[in-house]
Amino acid sequence: MIIEFNPLANINYYDIDKYNIQGFIYSLLKDTEFANYHDVKGFKFFNFSNIFPVSNFVYGDQKTLIISSPSSAFIKILYYQLSKIDVFRLDKYFMEIKKLKLIKKLSCSKSLITGTPVVLFKNNNENRYFSFNDGDGVDFNFFFKRLKDNAVKKYNAYIGNDFSLDSELFDSFEINREVSIRMNIHNNKFIIIGSLWKLEKNISNHDKDFYNFLFDVGLGEKNSLGFGFLNNRR
């Protein structure tokens, strides 16, 4: 789903973070069949893009947000809830809806680019994220093994089946850069480390549904916070 909107104030771009966008999405789920989704343990099957263009919010200048999910019911509820209002809030700032658009299901192409950083825990117990700059050396094998394990586990949790991927998750890859993202959650500041990629995969018919699922829900962890968002690369 695409949301086009105009800010009703001049705002620094980074004054609205991914936690604010996630909170906005959860607020739309109140009094729906997904009302308790925030409290569900485990994976949350939705994702969202950066707000773009990536520049300061200027009163009346259009911005765009894309929300994706493998669940058409989830997306339709968001669309219905938004269609009833003209203005919504991100943190303390108000936005005027200009256009809503449901996107026909897109297929994952063989050439992908990450629109938002891919995040993986290197050590869950220590709350330590995988970083290629932490002194342990560049270990792509470890990274993509963990990424594949996460993707398959997430897919099986969604379909309630026992799918396995016999090949590598991607045939080739190119890292763009590693980034750190500052988050402010309940007045506690966090830094999340992620990485941006160009990815290639010749997708077999057997694995097509799996990759389409990843295209909708994202790669890695913290997808419901807008990480791991995928775009087809032209």
In the 8-state DSSP scheme, what is residue 184? Answer: E
Known catalytic membership, residue 26: yes
Known catalytic membership, residue 206: no
* From 13, 26, 37, 93, the catalytic residue: 26
* Helix (H), strand (E), coil (C) string for 111-148: EEEECCCECCEEECCCCEECCCCCCCCCCHHHHHHHHH
What residues are paired with 181 via a beta bridge? Answer: 192
157 CB neighbour count, 10 Å cutoff? 12
Q: For residues 151 and 214, is the Cβ–Cβ distance under 8 A?
A: yes
* From 13, 19, 37, 38, the catalytic residue: 38
Q: For residues 210 and 155, is the Cβ–Cβ distance under 8 A?
A: yes
Pairing mode, strands 93-101 and 87-90 = antiparallel
Q: For residues 10 and 59, is the Cβ–Cβ distance under 8 A?
A: yes
> Could you tell me which of 83, 24, 26 has the C-alpha nearest to residue 51?
24
Which amino acids are annotated catalytic?
26, 38
